[in-house]
Amino acid sequence: MKKIILALLFVGVLVLPFAASAALTPPTGNVGSASAGTSIPTTDVENTVNALTNWFFALFLIVAVWFLILAGFHFVTANGDTEAVNKARSEVMYAAIGILIAVLSKGIVSLAFGLAKQ
C-alpha cells in the first residue's frame, strides 16, 4: 500500500510544474477590451526568482542523484547486513525527499506567479 501511495505521490509531483505552467500562457484573440497580440509583461522580479529557482532545482537534482548513487553503493556493499540495508533505504528516502522539494519549489513558484498575474 505504501508503495502505491508513494508512486502516485511521485507521479503527481512530477506533473505539478507542467500543470502550473499551463496556466501561465496568455489567452489569444480578443479578450475584453484588449487587442489581439497583447501579452502580459514580465517583471525583473519574476525573471530573477525564476533564475534562482532554476539554479536551486539543478543543484538539488545533482545532489539527489549523488545520494541515490551513494545509496545504491551502500545497497550493493551491505552483504545482507540489516543495519546497512536500512541505512541505504533511509538514504534513498532522503534523496526522494530532496527531489520532491526541488520539483515542488519549481511548481509553487510557477503557480504563485500565475496567480499573481490574474
pLDDT in tens, 38-51: 565 556 788 888 88
**Inside any domain, residue 107:** yes
Distance CA 25, CA 2 (A): 36
Please give the Cα distance from 95 to 68 (Å, whole number). Answer: 6
Over residues 67-83, mean pLDDT: 89
- Is 58 a member of any domain? yes
* Domains of the chain: total: 1
Backbone phi and psi for residue 24, each to the nearest 5 degrees, phi listed first: -85, -10
| Residue ranges making up the domain that contains 97 | 2-24+43-117
Does a structural domain hold residue 66?
A: yes
DSSP code, position 24? T
In a domain, 112, yes or no: yes
**The predicted structure's pLDDT at residue 86:** 92
pTM over 0.75: no
Residue 38 placed within a domain: no
Residue at 35 is within a domain? no
Q: What is the pLDDT of residues 1-28, one digit of tens each?
A: 666 666 666 666 666 665 555 555 555 5
